[in-house]
Amino acid sequence: MALRMPLLVLVLSASGCNLQADPGVPTKPVVRDSTAGSQQIAPRVDYHQHLASPTEAGLWNGTRLPEIELPAALAQALRSRGELVNDKSALAKLFTEDAVVLNSWSPGARWMRGRTAVTGYLTAAFGGTHRLVPQAYRVDGAHAHVVGYYTRAKDGAGKPFGYFQIALERGDDGKWRVAAESPTFPSDAAVQAPITAENLIMMLDEAGIHRAVVLSDAFLFGGKSDMESESTVPYERVRAENDWTAQQITEYPTRLVAFCSFNPLVDYAIAELDRCAKDGRFRGLKLHLWESRVDLQNVMHVKKLREVFVRANEHRLPIIVHVGNNEIKSTAADNVQTFLHEIVAAAPDVVVQIAHLWGGQGFSAEALGAYARAVSTGDPAAKNLYFDVAEVVFVTHLQDISDKALPEVASAIRQIGLERILYGSDGALVGHATPAEGWAQFRKEVPLTDAELNAIANNIAPYMRDE
């Protein structure tokens, strides 16, 4: 979603910065009863959401290595290991006397040593016969190493429920015995299923949220997360991803709006922007500068990005931007100034929404402070800036800095002004929060008052006002 960091967005609109009522959104916030019995207000709009097309899900899951054929004696050892798991006495004979197995169910994981401990754990952990499907191996004299996955399917084609690394030793009798086994559970925690508009609507209903802004993930293809792709991606692939998102959104026209996406550095960037603007199904543009490898200290990158902003402004398309470029503290504030005055200033008539509050990636007090100062001091380049809070708490937890960072977040929100803060939860990929979970976490952990939280929940950005 390597670490999947949140996707940040910038949005500018021809309507300026005043938040107004949206005829398509209930005039009063949705109120739900919490388990504690107190009333909690749900956001009216989730301003930062993603679906996951089948193509994108494949990107996250990667390609499973094929099953390979092992030498006969090794294959027999693995086959017996799976078939005899319910027979402690027979299973023990497959292990060396001092064999070790990783108990990955234990908090923090721990190694278990000796046949008795090993067989007792494996019998309890697996609870039934299974197959160890080999995907790679190496033999060096009397030692062998095999990696693969566990499956219940006899033919090995079923869904993995775990992965293994096994070290084996060959005895004087010619038989291979397991010296060490390292299971990893559960494998299905890493399997990303497609997320459709229907799935998102169900999550929004659970949260009591009426509408959502859905950002196409076309920017991923050829990006930093696309490990199996060349740096240049055929235009057809990006166009197909944008069209898939648009098609999904059209099934719920009163609930969802779509934003087109692409890498702003590619040769076809302006062509895809023009196509999306003409298409009619897209409300705005989403850019992810970190995924697209945009360097705000590179003059040519700044020039190309500025051209995209100029054209988006001509089409009156709001822009949502995951800025990034804040990993190095010494340059983060300078990058904000470049972004505001060289790029955002080129789109003076549209809303620019900065995702993840400080622009994305790890928490950046430097970038957040620079944005907050620009707004609070009346910098003209910041006149149409909005900020979503997608995964703000999630990121600070990943870095184990919540106690220090979240008070800074609350302070910056107040400096920016509550009217410019938009709730967003980001896509509910594996390991990430649903809209309801994200709002509950934000409400609980960011030190804002109930009145401030309610103000954020009720904000309607200019680009969400129906025509």
- Give the tens place of pLDDT for each residue, 367-391: 999 999 999 999 999 999 999 999 9
In a shared domain, residues 325 and 279? yes
At a CB cut-off of 8 Å and minimum separation 6, what does 50 contact? 7, 195, 214, 215, 217, 426, 427, 429
If you write DSSP's letter for every residue of 231-277 in order, what string do you get? Answer: SS--HHHHHHHHHHHHHHHTTSTTTEEEEEE--TTSTTHHHHHHHHH
Residues 211 and 151 in one domain: no
Structure-token match 């988006």, residue found: 312
The CB density around residue 247, as the number of other CB atoms within 10 Å, is 12
pLDDT value for 189: 52
| Co-location of 178 and 240 in the same domain | no
Inside any domain, residue 443: yes
In angstroms, the CA 415 to CA 122 distance is 56
> Can you tell me the distance from the alpha carbon of 421 to that of 145, in angstroms, rounded to the nearest whole number?
54
pLDDT-based confidence at residue 160 (cuts at 50, 70, 90): confident
Instruction: Give the chain's radius of gyration (CA, Å).
Output: 26
Using pLDDT thresholds of 50, 70 and 90, give the confidence band for residue 305: very high
- % residues pLDDT > 70 (the chain): 85
| CATH assignment of the domain containing 39 | 3.20.20.140
Work out the pLDDT band at 58, boundaries 50, 70, 90.
Answer: confident
181-235 tens-digit pLDDT: 999 876 555 577 889 999 999 999 999 999 999 999 999 887 776 654 545 678 9
Average pLDDT over residues 240-258: 96
* Residue 382: inside a domain: yes
Q: 113-154: per-residue pLDDT in tens?
A: 999 999 988 888 887 889 999 999 999 999 999 999 998 866
Identify the pLDDT of residue 161: 82
According to the model, what pLDDT value does residue 166 have?
97
Where does residue 55 rank: exposed (0-12), middle (13-18), buried (19+ CB within 10 A)? middle
| The pLDDT of residue 18 is above 50 | no
Q: How far apart are CA 409 and CA 220, in angstroms?
A: 28
In a domain, 15, yes or no: no
Of 349, 351, 439, 363, whose CA–CA distance to 396 is shortest? 363
In this structure, what token pair is assigned to residue 421? 């803060």
Question: Burial level of 182, CB count in 10 A (0-12/13-18/19+)?
Answer: middle
Work out the pLDDT band at 299, boundaries 50, 70, 90.
Answer: very high
pLDDT at 95 over 70: yes
| Helix (H) or strand (E) segment spanning residue 110 | strand 110-113
pLDDT at 72 over 60: yes
Residues 35 and 112 in one domain: no
Q: What pLDDT was estimated at residue 346?
A: 98
Name the phi and psi angles at 176, rounded to 5: -90, 135
pLDDT at 337 over 50: yes
- The residue that leads in pLDDT, 120 or 460, is 460
206 and 131 fall within a common domain: no
- Is 6 domain-assigned? no
Pair 211, 259 in one domain: yes
Domain final residue pick, 125, 157, 189: 189
**Cα within 13 Å of Cα(23), Cβ side:** 2
| Pair 148, 121 in one domain | yes
Q: Rounded mean pLDDT of the chain?
A: 87
320 close to 9: Cβ distance less than 8 angstroms? yes
23 found inside a domain? no
Q: Please say which residue of 189, 219, 244 terminates a domain.
A: 189
Distance (Å, whole) CA 210 – CA 317: 22
Least confident of 158-167, 176-185, 265-274, 329-338: 158-167
User: Of the residues 157, 189, 221, which one is the last residue of a structural domain?
Assistant: 189
Which is higher by pLDDT, 193 or 439? 439
pLDDT band at 466 (very low <50, low <70, confident <90, very high): low
* Same-domain status, 35 and 172: no
Please check whether residues 184 and 199 belong to one and the same domain.
Answer: no
Listed residue (217, 192, 137, 101) closest to 432, CA to CA = 192
Is 176 in the same domain as 269?
no
Identity of the amino acid at 85: V
Domain boundaries, position 178 = 72-189
pLDDT in tens, 418-434: 999 999 999 988 778 89
Residues 6+ apart with CB under 8 A from 3: 398
If asked whether residues 312 and 451 sit together in one domain, one would say yes
The whole-number pLDDT of residue 37 equals: 35
Q: What is the total count of domains within the chain?
A: 2
How far apart, in Å, are the Cα atoms of 447 and each of 60, 366, 412, 441?
Answer: 34, 20, 12, 11
Judgement on whether residues 163 and 232 belong to the same structural domain of the protein: no
| Res 257 pLDDT > 80 | yes
Closest to 170 in 3D by CA, of 272, 71, 88, 38: 71
CATH number of the domain encompassing residue 141: 3.10.450.50
Once rounded to an integer, what is the mean pLDDT over residues 157-178? Answer: 89
131-140: strand order across its sheet: 110-113, 95-103, 176-184, 162-170, 143-151, 131-140
